[in-house]
């Protein structure tokens, strides 16, 4: 990888810090102006006026986990397809690579069809 490329990615990385710096600036400006009078009632969790009962950190539905798993399956598939798409116009004969990609997508489509039938895509 050439130095120019690394510089370009350096800018991208720097912008992660830039976003943080922007929030620091905003919060610093507010820190100068805002009041601070905490009291016990104010620091309660807001549940529309009711006194909160118990902790909010409870067990939640397994459906979120299933969705996350199917998501990983597809996101990895998309990541694998990026080189194929990027190089598509470089091949003299595109039909061979297309067939290969078709087999790849086909296998995953089969997996998806299985998940669909198993009800993993039904929400809750």
- Closest contact distance (angstroms) between CB of 34 and other proteins is 6
- Closest contact distance (angstroms) between CB of 109 and other proteins is 7
DSSP per-residue string spanning 22-76: HHHHHHHHHHHH------TTTTS--STTSPP-S-S-----THHHHHHHHHHHHHH
- Closest contact distance (angstroms) between CB of 18 and other proteins is 4
In the numeric block, the tokens 């006026």 are attached to 49
Tell me the per-residue interface mask from 53 to 92 with other proteins, x by CB under 8 A, - otherwise. --xxxx-x--xx--xx-xx--xx--x--xx-xxx-xxx--
- Closest contact distance (angstroms) between CB of 102 and other proteins is 8
Sign of CA dihedral 28, 34, 35, 40: negative
Tokens of 65: 């986990």
Residues 23-52 interacting with other proteins (rule: CB under 8 A): 23-27, 29-31, 33-38, 40, 42-48, 52
- Separation CA 89–CA 69 (nearest Å): 33
Number of residues that bind other proteins (CB under 8 A): 73
Residues 92-121 interacting with other proteins (rule: CB under 8 A): 94-95, 98, 101-102, 105, 109, 116, 121
């Amino acid at each position: 990888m050439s130095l120019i490329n690394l510089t370009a990615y350096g800018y991208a990385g720097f912008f992660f810090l830039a976003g943080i710096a922007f929030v620091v600036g905003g919060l610093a400006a507010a820190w100068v102006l805002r009041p601070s009078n905490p009291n016990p009632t104010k620091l309660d969790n807001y549940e529309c006026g009711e006194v909160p009962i118990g902790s909010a950190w409870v067990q939640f539905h397994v459906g979120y986990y299933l969705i996350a798993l199917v998501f990983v399956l597809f996101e990895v598939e998309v990541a694998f397809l990026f080189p194929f798409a990027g190089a598509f116009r470089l091949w003299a004969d595109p039909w061979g690579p297309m067939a290969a990609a078709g087999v790849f997508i086909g296998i995953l489509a089969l997996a998806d069809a299985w998940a669909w039938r198993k009800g993993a895509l039904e929400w809750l």
